[in-house]
Each structure stands twice: as structure tokens, then as C-alpha cells.
Structure 1
Amino acid sequence: MVFATGPFVVGLLLSALSVAVVLLVTFAVARIVGKHSVIDTAWGALFAVIAIVTFLCSSGHGDAARRWLLLVLPVFWGGRLAIHIARRTVGKPEDPRYVELLAKAPGNPDLYALRMIYLLQGVLAFLISAPIQVGAYQSASLPPTAWIGVALWLLGVFFEGVGDAQMQRFRRDPANKGKLIQSGLWRYTRHPNYFGDACVWWGIFLVALGSWPVLLTIVCPIGMTLLLTKGSGARILERHMSKRAGWDDYAARTSGFIPLPPRKKSATT
């Protein structure tokens, strides 16, 4: 196995630069529209840009099939997510999460946001995308586990896409205002989109896996999964959802992450 160390280092630097450019542009847009929640749209775009830069920098060095997969999978996932969030948030006020965060800002709120929102998300995107950035420079051909990764990625995109579409339809019905969605994929997991997100990154890791350097990046899908389940994902969302009627019953019978058949009510209840 040959690993192109020199081009890899150049690729890392250019990826970091591309992340900085995307974040600065996003910050400028946020100042114009008056809300920092536009960073949520940029989240998926960051991974797509990193994948594109890595693909270009690894040209002539890594295995062609792996390079193409590590381009197409993140770009499709990141592009779909960016478009979905942009459509969902256009014309909406600032996200309450950012209002709460910036209310505690010492000094200039914009500089605080630049550090605590933009820089933090940029660093996370750069680190989480490590399997892409390392995997693209391997000369080893794709192992069978790569196709398991593609299947896992497809499963993840299905759960994210279908889950988001079901939530959009639910919210468009005025009769559902203030209610909890409990149908479709949401019947089997309280967070189909977060489960799908985790599947996507474990799938990308398996596609990238071909040598010991990539094995070291296993901390990235692990970190993403923890972020989704214990960090800023499910934990914060459920704190908001728990205020709605019927939450306790829904949470008691529905899996918190991995899709499972709904639990039956106890005979004593």
C-alpha cells in the first residue's frame, strides 16, 4: 500500500482553507440577513467542499474507485442536507439556540458568534471528515467492506431523506400544531434523521478503510454518533420535544436512536 504523504498534507491545508472561506462567506451572509442560523445550511456544504478539494488534490495518487466514492457520497449527502435546511429556515426568525447562546456573549456578540458557532462547526467538520481526507490518498483497491459501507450510506440517506419529508408533511398540516409526529419512520425511532446521519458517516468510514492510517480515523464516526446522541443533537431536541403533550408515552414506547418495533404498553398501565 502506497500513501501519498506530500499531497495529503497539501490537501489538508487546502481543505482547511476552503472551510475558512465557506465560514467567512456564511458569516457575511448572516450579518446581512440578521441571523446566525444560516450556519446550519453551511454545515452540509462544508463536507461537500472538503470532499471536492480532497478529490482534486488526490488526483493521480489514490485508488480511483475509492476517490470517486469519497467524492460522490459526501457531496450528495451534504448537498441534500444544505438544500433541505435552507428551504426549512428561509424566512424564519433566528434559531432559539443561537438567541440563548448570544444572550450570554461577553463583549461583541458577532465576534463571540464567530468564535463559538462558526469556528467550532468548522473545526468539527474538518475533523469528522478525516476518513475522506485520509482515505482518498490510499493506493489499495476497494475491499468488500467498502460496498457494505455504500449500503450503510444508502440506508442512512434513506432514513434522513424520508424522515425529513415525513416531518415536513406533518408540520404543514395546521391540525398538527403543537403535536408530536408518531407515524412513519418516527414510529420506530424518535430520531430517524440522526440515525441516518450516523449511518452515513459509518458508511463513509468503511468506504475509506483500506489501511491502518484510515483505521485511526474511526474516532470520527464514533465522535459524530456521540455528538448526535449525547451532544447537540438528540439531547437538545428532546429537551424541547418533552414539553409537548404525549411525550412521556411516546418516549416510553419508541426507541431513542436505533429503529426498533414500538414497545407495547405494560399490562399494569
Structure 2
Amino acid sequence: MRLMIFGAGFSGLAIARELAGDCGFAGGTTRSHERFSNLEAAGLKPFIYQGGLPEGELGAALQDITHLVMSIAPDADGDPLLDAFSAGGLKQAMPRLEWVGYLSTVGVYGDHGGGWVDETTVCKPVSKRSVARVAAEKGWIDLAGRADVPAAVIRLSGIYGPGRNALKTLDSGRARRLIKPGQVFNRIHVADIGGATALLVRSRLGGIFNVTDDMPAPPQDVVEHAAGLMGVEPPPETDFETADLSPMARSFYGENKRVSNARIKAAGFSFAYPDYHAGLGALWNDGTWKG
């Protein structure tokens, strides 16, 4: 396998670590030379990518790539890589390509009043960023179909892991217990993103998969559980309606749903951290919560 991860950030690096033993070559892109050491530590050869059709050393490396993971979020102008590859097609840039994975978000489902959704649920995104994700998902599925390679759309819920979790937020004094009756969110440990993506890669599976935990829960419950692990008092409750929140933070609470992970389980994946109790407990016990 020769792997390229566009946008090798928190999730991309977890995928790289999980697939390190499978790869004859693994590369990843970033926007800054300052992050090269992070990519190299995960076993990736780093490349700079800032948009447009990949050229130079990166373009040459793509000629031998067999597996592509796209982890760059669309911006106001759309998906940069999708737009770059649309004219000539994927096989022109990557003639040996066998599989495509696109990291998306459960935000594409929009608001379902706390009800359950799965991969057959019609998407009705609320925010502009989720509308752009729906368009990008369709674009990658269509582009991979033209190249006759399977495409897996991997819809992720709220990501946490080493250095990015409720324990660290509490420790820094930034945690809040916002109360909005009936509100729930799903979460996913970054290691399970790596594991689930690796399963799809190794099986060359295409389709849409929710990669999310078993326990949609109110956000204040997660803060309380983290406080219990640390042996500290949780922050006071704050009413959501009167809380001082940024427009983006408030928009997250406009989407309320419970997301099913039955399809990725049926494909053979077992979660290492099926709920936030297991995930936060492991981070606390081994000290990796600090990052």
C-alpha cells in the first residue's frame, strides 16, 4: 500500500499510525513546515499543500499512490482537492489508485430533535459548513465512481483524544456546563477513527459509514464525569439560552440527534472506546490526556 493523507491533522495522524505497518510508503500534507516533525513522528513523509492541483514533489509522489485519505475541510470556495482533480479525474493524478476515503462529519444530518439517525437518513444540514460537507461528499463519491474505485465517506462525531478532551479543558479552567434540556451529542476517540479507517482501507470498502461512539449524551454529563475522574468540582451550571457564546459555538447546539454506528460494526469494527467513560478513563489513567 502507498498511502497519501491530505490534511494530516489530529485524525489524519491517527490513521497514519494505525496503517504504518501496512504501508510501503506513506505521505501526508500540511500547510506549514512547522508541522513536518509531527507528520514524520507518525511515519509520514511530509509535503506542503495549500490548494490547487498538486505539483512538484507532491504531484510526482501521487503517481504511485494506491490509497488516498482526504481530511481537508471545505472552505468558502469549496473543497480544494476535489476542485483540482475534477477536470482530469483521479486516475490522471493517481493512475494506481485503488481506494478513496473522505473524512466528513455527522453534522450533515442536521437537526433531528434528538432522534436516531443512520446512513440511510436524508441529510438536512443546518450550518453553511455542513452544507459544504454534503456537497463535498457527493463530489468525492462521483469522482471516485468516474475512476472506478471504491470511496468510503467516513462521518465523524465530536473528536477527542490525547491533548483534546474534557479533562484538559477542565484543567485549563475553560470547561463549562451548558444546560440545554434534551440536547445530546455523540463523540469519537481519535484512536477509533484510525482503527475504523484502517478496517475500511484493508477491506477496500466503499459507502457511507458513521464512525461514532455508542453513547450519545448531554455535554454537561461529560464535564461532570471528567471532574469525577480528576477529583475536582465541576464548573457551575449555565443556562444555554442566556450563555455568552460565539455564533459558531451556539450553532452546534442547533443540531440535536443520536447517531447510530451499526453499519461500521457490521463491517467488522470493534470500538476500543465505545463511550466517553472508557475514552476519558483511559486518557486519565495513562496520563495522555495532557497530550
Greater fraction strand: 2
TM-score using structure 1 length: 0.25
Greater fraction helix: 1
